[in-house]
Structure 1
């Protein structure tokens, strides 16, 4: 289910939240702090969100929904072998474009809910892909695959100087599925 587009104020609120997430402990982030960082009135915050938890969930869900939508296009064409999928390339491009979110949730302060949501989305997409192409993969392999994707992206974010080639990452990750 696709959510409606964000207003500029919501984008500002989300950006302020991500900035705070990257700089202070998650349990210390309050509506007041987000409002001060935006800057907006508390009533404006409550126009869009009922709580910090709802704001965080909205960021997580929108980010993963957008990533899934981009990658889903790749699965609409015939695939001869698993490594034909440009999944890693498109995922890395999306992560680069939304670096502030991924860095905050994977490096600055691990967001397990975000990680689990992302892994679940990867598993769902690939289980559909495999089923549609007559390949059977069990949940354990899909879990390892999804965890490998998240780990590879996290590593890239933590060590940008390593500048791993997307083709190398692709081969390593897809080796798990072969």
Structure 2
């Protein structure tokens, strides 16, 4: 099969050459992977003494080989080292049945927060309409409702001081 490159446009020629180039690069890659040199033989084991070790390393150097690192046979990576296997009975914790009693009962009831229903701003005083539980009333600055004291009133918010510190209450938006 022959290809007439003169009759092809510039774009088709460019794409054709790009495809050929990609195929050549892939071919060289796989040729390099499959024709890689074989691995050098690895010597596993440890000589019994220093003289034997020196003789073995001299033989390996003469042959152009390097000795392999010593290999631990069938080592379990999850095995506890012998140092930590010893059980120290004195340092063990108390048994389960000797748990101390709880000193005070934990209050799981959430604190009730006042809800801001509305605000009335005047020249001399401002009023916030607050609801706390079933009680809903107009509160002036300095007055209290439940555990909370009204500190400031704005057009769409009010600041109350209570057990948790100062809290800013915002009016809900009407949809």
TM-score by length of 2: 0.18
Larger Cα-atom Rg: 2
Structure with the higher fraction of residues in helix conformation: 1
Question: Which one scores higher on RCO, CA 8 angstroms, separation ≥ 6?
Answer: 1
Structure with the higher fraction of residues in strand conformation: 2
TM-score by length of 1: 0.18
